Amino acid sequence: MGQEIGRARFGSDDFSAFRQRLRAETRLLGEWLRAGRVAEGPPSIGLELEAWLVDADGRPAPISDRVLSRVEDPRVENELARFNLEINTDVHPLAGTPLQGLQTELAERWARTQRAAADAGCRLALVGILPSVREADVCVENMTPSPRYAALNEQVLALRGRRPLTLDIEGTQRFRTERHDVMLEAATTSLQLHLQVPPQRMAAFFNAAVALSAASVAVAANSPFLFGRRLWHESRIPLFEQAVACTRLEPRGAGTLARVGFGSGYARDALYGFFVENRQHHPVLLPELQDQPVEALAHLRLHNGTIWRWNRPLVEVVDGQCQLRLEHRVMAAGPTLADVLANAAFFYGAVAELAESRPGLVEELPFHIAEQNFYAAARYGLEAEVEWLDGWFGRLGDLVTERLLPKARRGLVRAGVAEAEATAHLGVLEERVASGRTGAAWQLAWVERHGEDDQALTRAYLDRAADGEPVHRWPL
């Protein structure tokens, strides 16, 4: 849910004082990075997985408070809307059996949350956009009571001069609306993959993640419908970008200044440039002053949590040590835990191999090409045409099969992951890509066969997901 704050309203003095502290902390982070005062250690991974609460009719169930009170697990948290939850994992070393560790932890926490949901009278769904969600559902009445969310809503509108947010997505069909709140964001749920590597390798891994974002969003596509309209294979991407646009120019007209977007370019300096960019180009949204020393980087971290690049640098201070992490945010949630783990295996393996084997990546694949690939993949899924290294051009699904899956396998093994574990999870994704049956493709095929009934589609989706089989094995 992001870092909570203690109040929702602020004055001009709060903003001024916050900016001063943000400047000092940004400067200190730069000094630490230049001096090598950032935590070393072997690569480690973790994830955040967002989910929907769904009632017996297949509609969003805004009862997260009831579910959370039954779960009693600090790693299961609320989200912007009362019909969403977020499940977090511990940190796992990448070497060894990290996927088995994630699987065991997720399965136990998922089962406990499912039981709590059943006791509260609802079910859990892992899907980028719930097919049955309607615009009336994403309203301030369904916002989770939280100073953070109230303040974000207020400050985004204030930055826009109270002008309404405009959502305009053109895909197979078109959807357009205007809103006076940020609740459209609540229609999106995702899988957020975290990776920590030694700081001197962080830029290479970050750039590899940027290059891989097109493949990631396509293999995990699971959001073809929004409010009854058929839009993009991963409609979550344009929806989130437009839902919290802090200026009238966003997302496209603002270019590198967009609050949610693909970013301004590749990393050049262990990610520090992004934190400078945060301070210089992104107005403060949550200026709550923290009673912590400058070394805690509290204001830098709070500000960074209100800028949602699809690949986001993260900073933590643990036991007095600064840690850098990468957060890969492009994948949709679901459809099952088996799919989630396959997606994680693909990303962690491919990003490791690409970072280690292609030191000239940023020259070989210009950033604007990686960006074009990403939005084409979000719109068309595995059928998107993309450019790749060594002059490769063609269908994205073929790129994944021919080049990226072998890289993912090599990358996992190179990182010390047990070969049998890598093969098992990547095999799920290989079968999915070969069949073309992503979560988005399954939903589209179901509608082709059964007709446009969003609640029936949602119930069918939940029923198929219940046995845990990956989506490419689901019947229609």
Q: What is the pLDDT at residue 361?
A: 96
Q: What is the pLDDT at residue 319?
A: 86
In whole angstroms, give the CA distance from residue 127 to residue 51. 7
DSSP helix/strand/coil, 199: helix
In whole angstroms, give the CA distance from residue 385 to residue 214. 10
In whole angstroms, give the CA distance from residue 334 to residue 189. 9
130, 84 contact by CB (below 8 A):
no
| β strands within 24-63, DSSP E | 44-54
In terms of Cα–Cα distance, which of 51, 80, 85, 86 is closest to 149?
80
Tell me which residue has tokens 């009445």. 141
In whole angstroms, give the CA distance from residue 223 to residue 241. 14
In whole angstroms, give the CA distance from residue 125 to residue 452. 19
In whole angstroms, give the CA distance from residue 378 to residue 220. 10
91, 102 contact by CB (below 8 A):
no
How many CA within 13 A on the CB side of residue 199? Answer: 22
Each residue's pLDDT, cut to its tens digit, for the chain (476 residues) gives 577 777 778 999 999 999 999 999 999 999 999 999 999 889 999 999 999 999 999 999 999 999 999 998 999 999 999 999 999 999 999 999 999 999 999 999 999 999 999 999 999 999 999 999 999 999 999 999 999 999 999 999 998 999 999 999 999 999 999 999 999 999 999 999 999 999 999 999 999 999 999 999 999 999 999 999 999 999 999 999 999 988 655 555 444 578 999 999 999 888 999 999 999 999 999 999 999 999 999 999 999 999 999 999 999 998 889 999 999 999 999 999 999 999 999 999 999 999 999 999 999 999 999 999 999 999 999 999 999 999 999 999 999 999 999 999 999 999 999 999 999 999 999 999 999 999 999 999 999 999 999 999 999 999 999 999 999 999 99
176, 167 contact by CB (below 8 A):
yes
Per DSSP, 141 falls in state G
Residue 444 lies in a domain: yes
Q: Is 469 exposed, middle or buried (0-12, 13-18, 19+ CB in 10 A)?
A: middle
In whole angstroms, give the CA distance from residue 405 to residue 427. 9
Per DSSP, 331 falls in state E
Q: Please state the domain count of the chain.
A: 1
In whole angstroms, give the CA distance from residue 400 to residue 88. 28
Query: Residue 301: which domain range?
Result: 12-473
Q: What is the residue-wise DSSP string for 237-266?
A: HHHHHHHT--STTTTTTTGGG-SEES-SS-
The torsion defined by the Cα of 334, 340, 346 and 351, in degrees rounded to 10, comes to 90
Contact partners, residue 46, CB within 8 Å, separation at least 6 = 88, 89, 90, 91, 92, 102, 194
In whole angstroms, give the CA distance from residue 165 to residue 266. 29
Q: What is the pLDDT at residue 253?
A: 43
Residue 235 lies in a domain: yes
Q: What is the pLDDT at residue 346?
A: 99
Q: What is the pLDDT at residue 389?
A: 98
Contact partners, residue 293, CB within 8 Å, separation at least 6 = none
Q: How many residues does the chain have?
A: 476
Residue 131 lies in a domain: yes
In whole angstroms, give the CA distance from residue 266 to residue 42. 23
Residue 7 lies in a domain: no
Q: Which backbone phi and psi does 394 adopt, to 5 degrees?
A: 165, -160
CA distances to 53, 70, 121, 150, 337 from 118, in Å: 10, 10, 5, 29, 18
Give the CA radius of gyration of the chain: 21
Q: What is the pLDDT at residue 245?
A: 87
How many helices (H) does the chain have, and how many strands (E)?
16, 16
Which pair of structure tokens corresponds to residue 147? 């100073």
Residue 277 lies in a domain: yes
The CATH number for 58's domain is 3.30.590.20
Q: What is the pLDDT at residue 50?
A: 99
Residue 207 lies in a domain: yes
Q: What is the pLDDT at residue 256?
A: 52
Q: β-pairing, 321-332 with 190-196? A: antiparallel
Which pair of structure tokens corresponds to residue 307? 């800028």
Residue 5 lies in a domain: no
463: amino acid identity, one letter: D
Residue 399 lies in a domain: yes
Percentage, residues of the chain above pLDDT 90: 92
220, 438 contact by CB (below 8 A):
yes
Q: β-pairing, 44-54 with 84-88? A: antiparallel
| Strand partners of residue 229 | 226
